C-alpha cells in the first residue's frame, strides 16, 4: 500500500496539484495587493462607495482568474465545469430570485447614483442617513439611531427623496389668519420677521401665497429658504418669531369655527333658574 | 502673521481695537455699535460674554465705549470660556473682515453702459477678533452686527452661501457715512461688453481682502476691480496689492483670511461676481 502511495507521490498529478495550489495561494496575494494598489490609485478620483466597489471587484476578478488557471493545471476540463455551472446557475436563479433581483437593482443603483454614503434619504416613512450601499441592500441610520436595512429592489421600485442633494432647502409654513385681518399687513409682518432672522436667506426671496378662503381662516403659505444645515434651526426660530409678531400686532390665528342656525323654527330658550328659585 | 498683527495694531484715538490689559478677576465691558461684550480674566481662564444686535436693528452711529465693572453672565446670550495654564494680563482686539463673501445689493439697481467705468464705495460688516498675548488663532471671532445669510449663484442647486448687505452704492466718498463697524471697499466696475451691465448684486470677496485704517479711524480694504469681459459671460476680479490711493497715512490692520491662489487676478464666471 505504501509503495502505491509513494508511486503516486512521484506522479505527474501530485506535481500539478502542487502547482495549482501555489497558483491559488499566489492568486490570493496578487488579488489582495492589486486591489489595494487600485484603491490607492483611485482614492482621489472616486468617492468612498466607488472606491470600495473597485477594491472588491478587482479582488474577486483576479482571484477568479487564478482559480480558473489553477483548476486548469489540475486537469479539469473547464468547458464541462462551465456547462455544469450554467445548469447550476439556473437552479440557483430559481431558488434565489429575490437575491438576484436585489443584486441587479443594486447595480442599477450604483450606476444611477441617486444618493451616496452620508446622504440623508427618505423612503416611504423611513428617513435616515445612508451608512452603506451594498450589493443586496442599503443600510440607513435613522434619526432615532436605529439601523434599517432596505433591500435594493424596494429602492428601485419606490420613490426615494434625497434630502441632502442640494445645498439649500425651503421651509413651507402653512398659516391661517382670521377673516377680520388685513392680509397685506399680515404679509408685511411675516416678511419683516424673515428679514430679521439671520438664518433666513435673503435670496431666494421668501414666498407668499394666499392659498384660499378656508372654513375658519384665510389660508396663507409663507415659504422661506435656509441653508440645509440650518433647516431645523430656522424652522423653529421663524415659527416662534411669527407667533410673537402676530401677538404683538394682534393678528389672530383662529380655531376651527362652526356657525349653527336653528332652521325654520327658532329654538326656544327657557331660563330655569328663576322658576325653580324657592319663595 | 497674526502675531505680527497683534503686536503692531495701531492705537488710533477713536479706535475700538488694540491691546487691553486686565488684572485677575477684572471685567472689561465694551459696547460697540449694539454689540455688548464683557471680558473677564481669571488666573486660568478668559471668559467672554456677548450679545449681538439683530440683523436690522439700527445701532447708534459712530459710538462705542468701554468700562471696567462687574458682570452678570445671565445678562448675555452667548458665552465662551478659554482655559490656560496661566493667563497673561493683555489681550488684543483686532478688526477683521467677514468669513464669507458679502453680497451687496444697491438700494436701487445701477446700470453701467458699454465701455464705461465707475467707482463705487461699498461697505461691508466687520468682525471682532480677540487674541491672547501669544495666540495665533483668535479666541473669539464674532461679527459686530450679525449679517443675514443669502445665497449667491445661478440656481438653488449650485452657488455659495454668503452674507447679505445693503449698500447705497455711493459714487462720491463725501456721501459715504463713516461707521466704525463697517469697512469700505472701493469697487471699480468696467464694462467691456457691448450691452448695459445691470448691477443688482455684487459679490465682494471679503475673505480675500486686507483691512486698513485711515487717519479718521475709518476701516478700509484694498480697491477691487471687476471687469466684465467683451464676450459678456466672464468677468475678472482684481485685488490691488496696496491700500486705496485716496487714503492718507493708511495703516495695515489685518491680513486676509485666505489669499487668492497664485495671483491677485481671478477670472470667474460672470454670474459668480455679478447678478
Q: The sheet that has B45-51: what strands, in order across it?
A: B64-68, B27-32, B35-41, B45-51, B78-83
Q: For residue B122, is pLDDT > 60?
A: yes
Per-residue pLDDT of A100-116, as tens digits, reads 788 888 888 878 888 88
- What are the residue ranges of helices labelled H in A226-268? 231-248
How much is the pLDDT for B264? 44
Cα separation of B123 and B104, whole Å? 8
**For the purposes of burial, counting CB atoms within 10 Å of the CB of B36, is it exposed (0-12), middle (13-18) or buried (19 or more)?**
middle
Cα→Cα distances B109→A123, B174, B199, B202, B251, Å? 45, 21, 6, 11, 33
H/E element, A23: helix A12-42
Evaluate the omega torsion of the peptide bond into residue B167 and state whether it is cis, within 30 degrees of 0. Answer: no
| Closest by Cβ to A202, choosing from B150, B156, B157 | B150
156-185 of A, contacting B, C-beta below 8 A: 166-168
Cα separation of B24 and B47, whole Å? 12
Q: Quick one: pLDDT band at residue B258, thresholds 50, 70, 90? A: confident
How much is the pLDDT for B239? 85
Residue owning grid cell 449694539: B34
How much is the pLDDT for A98? 81
Cα separation of B173 and A167, whole Å? 38
| Closest by Cβ to B148, choosing from A168, A202, A204 | A202
More confident residue, A183 or B236: A183
CB within 8 A of B45, min separation 6: which ones? B81, B82, B83, B84, B87
Whole-number percent of chain B with pLDDT over 70: 82
Å between A164 CA and nearest CA of chain B: 11
Chain A residues with CB-CB distance to B56 below 8 A: 195-196
Highest mean pLDDT among B64-78, B89-103, B259-273: B89-103
Q: Quick one: pLDDT band at residue B268, thresholds 50, 70, 90? A: low
How much is the pLDDT for B2? 36
Q: Burial code of A148-181, b = ≥16 C-beta within 10 A, e = fewer?
A: eebbbbebbeeebeeebeebbbebebebbbeeeb
In terms of DSSP bridges, do strands B182-191 and B219-220 run parallel, antiparallel, or are they unpaired? parallel
Q: Measured at the alpha carbon of residue A71, what is the angle toward residues A1 and A91, in degrees to the nearest 5?
A: 110
Å between A177 CA and nearest CA of chain B: 26
Mutation for testing the B interface, residue in A191, A200, A203 having most B CBs under 10 Å: A203
Chain A residues with CB-CB distance to B200 below 8 A: none
Average pLDDT, chain B: 79
B28: closest CA among B43, B49, B9? B49
Contact B203, B187 (CB under 8 A): no
Q: For residue B5, is pLDDT > 50?
A: no
Å between B146 CA and nearest CA of chain A: 7
**Stretch A87-92: mean pLDDT:** 80
Tell me, rounded to whole angstroms, the distance of Cα A76 from its chain centroid. 47
How much is the pLDDT for B123? 86
Q: Is A225 on the interface with B (CB under 8 A)?
A: yes
Mutation for testing the A interface, residue in B52, B99, B151 having most A CBs under 10 Å: B151
Dihedral sign for Cα A227, A229, A230, A232, please.
positive
Å between B149 CA and nearest CA of chain A: 5
Per-residue pLDDT of A60-89, as tens digits, reads 888 888 888 888 777 777 777 778 778 887
Contact B20, B37 (CB under 8 A): no
Å between B224 CA and nearest CA of chain A: 24
Tell me, rounded to whole angstroms, the distance of Cα B221 from its chain centroid. 9
Average pLDDT, chain A: 84
In chain B, what are the helix, strand and coil shares in percent, each to the nearest 5? Answer: 5, 45, 45
Cα separation of B236 and B264, whole Å? 10
**Stretch B154-174: mean pLDDT:** 78
Q: For residue B4, is pLDDT > 50?
A: no
Residue owning grid cell 463713516: B178
Q: Is A198 on the interface with B (CB under 8 A)?
A: yes
Chain A residues with CB-CB distance to B142 below 8 A: none
**What residue in A sits closest to B150 (Cα-Cα)?**
A201
B7: closest CA among B87, B92, B84? B92
Q: Is A200 on the interface with B (CB under 8 A)?
A: yes
Q: What are phi and psi of A129, to 5 degrees?
A: -90, 135
Size of interface A-B (CB pairs under 8 A): 50
How much is the pLDDT for A220? 94
Q: For residue B43, is pLDDT > 90?
A: no
How much is the pLDDT for A215? 87
Q: Is A196 on the interface with B (CB under 8 A)?
A: yes
Cα separation of B222 and B240, whole Å? 6
Tell me, rounded to whole angstroms, the distance of Cα B126 from its chain centroid. 3
Amino acid at each position: 500500500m505504501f509503495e502505491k502511495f509513494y508511486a503516486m507521490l512521484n506522479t505527474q498529478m501530485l506535481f500539478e496539484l502542487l502547482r495549482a495550489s501555489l497558483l491559488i495561494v499566489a492568486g490570493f496575494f496578487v488579488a489582495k495587493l492589486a486591489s489595494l494598489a487600485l484603491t490607492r490609485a483611485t482614492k482621489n478620483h472616486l468617492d468612498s462607495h466607488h472606491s470600495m466597489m473597485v477594491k472588491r471587484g478587482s479582488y474577486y476578478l483576479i482571484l477568479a482568474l487564478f482559480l480558473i488557471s489553477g483548476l486548469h493545471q489540475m486537469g479539469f476540463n473547464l468547458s464541462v465545469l462551465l456547462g455544469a455551472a450554467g445548469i447550476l446557475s439556473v437552479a440557483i436563479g430559481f431558488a434565489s430570485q429575490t437575491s438576484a433581483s436585489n443584486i441587479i437593482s443594486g447595480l442599477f443603483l450604483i450606476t444611477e447614483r441617486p444618493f451616496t454614503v452620508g446622504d440623508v434619504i427618505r423612503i416611504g416613512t423611513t428617513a435616515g442617513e445612508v451608512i452603506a450601499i451594498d450589493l443586496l441592500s442599503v443600510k440607513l441610520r435613522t434619526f432615532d439611531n436605529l439601523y434599517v436595512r432596505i433591500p435594493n429592489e424596494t429602492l428601485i421600485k419606490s420613490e426615494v427623496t434625497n434630502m441632502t442633494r442640494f445645498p439649500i432647502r425651503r421651509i413651507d409654513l402653512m398659516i391661517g389668519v382670521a377673516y377680520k385681518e388685513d392680509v397685506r399687513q399680515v404679509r408685511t409682518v411675516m416678511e419683516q420677521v424673515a428679514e430679521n432672522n439671520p438664518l433666513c436667506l435673503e435670496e431666494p426671496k421668501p414666498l407668499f401665497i394666499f392659498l384660499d378662503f378656508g372654513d375658519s381662516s384665510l389660508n396663507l403659505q409663507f415659504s422661506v429658504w435656509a441653508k440645509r444645515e440650518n433647516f431645523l434651526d430656522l424652522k423653529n426660530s421663524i415659527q416662534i418669531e411669527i407667533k410673537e409678531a402676530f401677538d404683538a400686532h394682534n393678528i389672530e390665528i383662529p380655531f376651527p369655527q362652526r356657525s349653527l342656525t336653528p332652521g325654520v323654527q327658532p329654538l326656544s330658550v327657557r331660563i330655569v333658574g328663576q322658576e325653580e328659585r324657592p319663595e | 502673521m497674526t502675531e505680527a498683527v497683534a503686536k503692531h495694531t495701531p492705537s488710533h484715538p477713536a479706535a475700538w481695537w488694540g491691546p487691553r490689559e486686565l488684572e485677575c478677576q477684572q471685567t472689561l465691558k465694551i459696547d460697540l455699535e449694539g454689540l455688548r461684550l464683557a471680558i473677564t480674566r481669571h488666573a486660568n481662564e478668559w471668559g467672554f460674554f456677548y450679545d449681538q444686535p439683530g440683523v436690522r436693528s439700527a445701532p447708534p452711529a459712530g459710538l462705542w465705549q468701554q468700562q471696567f465693572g462687574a458682570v452678570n453672565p445671565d445678562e448675555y446670550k452667548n458665552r465662551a470660556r478659554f482655559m490656560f495654564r496661566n493667563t497673561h494680563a493683555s489681550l488684543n482686539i483686532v478688526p477683521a473682515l467677514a468669513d464669507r463673501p458679502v453680497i451687496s445689493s444697491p438700494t436701487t439697481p445701477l446700470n453701467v453702459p458699454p465701455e464705461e467705468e465707475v467707482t463705487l464705495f461699498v461697505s461691508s460688516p466687520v468682525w471682532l477678533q480677540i487674541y491672547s498675548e501669544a495666540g495665533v488663532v483668535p479666541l473669539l471671532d464674532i461679527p459686530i452686527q450679525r449679517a443675514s445669510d443669502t445665497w449667491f449663484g445661478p440656481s438653488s442647486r449650485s452657488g455659495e452661501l454668503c452674507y447679505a448687505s445693503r449698500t447705497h452704492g455711493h459714487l462720491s466718498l463725501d456721501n459715504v457715512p463713516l461707521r466704525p463697524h463697517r469697512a469700505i471697499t472701493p469697487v471699480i466696475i468696467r464694462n467691456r461688453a457691448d450691452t448695459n451691465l445691470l448691477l443688482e448684486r455684487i459679490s465682494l470677496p471679503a475673505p480675500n481682502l486686507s483691512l486698513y485704517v485711515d487717519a479718521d479711524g475709518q476701516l478700509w480694504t484694498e480697491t477691487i476691480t471687476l471687469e466684465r469681459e467683451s464676450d459678456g459671460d466672464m468677468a475678472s476680479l482684481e485685488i490691488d496689492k496696496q491700500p486705496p490711493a485716496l487714503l492718507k497715512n493708511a495703516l495695515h490692520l489685518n491680513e486676509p483670511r485666505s489669499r487668492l491662489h497664485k495671483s491677485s487676478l481671478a477670472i470667474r464666471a460672470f454670474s459668480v461676481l455679478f447678478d
